[in-house]
Amino acid sequence: MSDSSSEKAQKPTHQEVELIIPMLQDMELTATQTACSIAQHMKFDEDRIDEVKMALIEAIINAFEHSQSPDKKVRIRFVLGEENLTVIIQDHGQGFALESIEKPEIGKKLHHEYKRGWGLMLIENLMDTVYIESNANGTTLVMSKNRK
């Protein structure tokens, strides 16, 4: 009992669920099912759960499609916060230069050969905070959604 005050002073340890999926067609849907169950557990409403699922799909298919990761795996961590759910998507691929990514615009995409390039922009818009770290050892995308 003597150290109860120091215990209280500690940061609460957040519960975490970790999922590692192989780079296989549609495996992102397994991750969204896991996410859905966690977010329901946290009492997120259906719309917010759906937005997390969509952002998660985008982050995972980016790792599948672009990372060229030799281990062909994507690691996803769900951190169950008091007021938010943080999802960390990580690959050990080649990385990319974030500053070289152009913001897509529908007016430019129409009548232009290259119609892709929406994933990161969607993630930014569907989540409350997004942070990306990418280098030659891989890419880590950290995204959070508030419960409300």
Partner 1 sequence: MSESFNLTLEEHTDYAIIRTEGYVNNLGGEKIGEAADQLIEQGVRKLILNFEKSNVVNSIGISILIEVIEKIVDVDGQIAFCYLTKTIEKTFNIMGLTQYAEIYATEAEAVEKLA
Ligand X SMILES: Nc1ncnc2c1ncn2[C@@H]1O[C@H](COP(=O)(O)OP(=O)(O)O)[C@@H](O)[C@H]1O
Q: Which residues bind a copy of itself (CB under 8 A)?
A: 15-22, 24, 26-27, 29-30, 33-34, 36-38, 41
Cα 26 from Cα 61, distance rounded (Å): 9
For partner 1, the closer CB: 118 or 131: 118
Residues in the chain: 148
Cα 76 from Cα 23, distance rounded (Å): 13
* Binder of partner 1 out of 1, 3, 6, 43 (CB under 8 A): 43
Residue 70 interacting partner from a copy of itself, ligand X, partner 1, none (CB closer than 5 to 8 Å by kind): none
CA distances from 94 to 45, 46, 72, 120, 137 (A): 36, 35, 12, 17, 6
The answer to whether 142 touches 130, Cβ cutoff 8 Å, is: yes
Looking at residues 86 to 105 of the shown chain, list those that interact with partner 1 (rule: CB under 8 A).
Answer: 104-105
Residues that bind partner 1 (CB under 8 A): 24-26, 28-29, 32, 41-43, 47, 50-51, 53-54, 57-58, 61, 104-107, 109-111, 115-116, 118-119, 121-122, 125-126
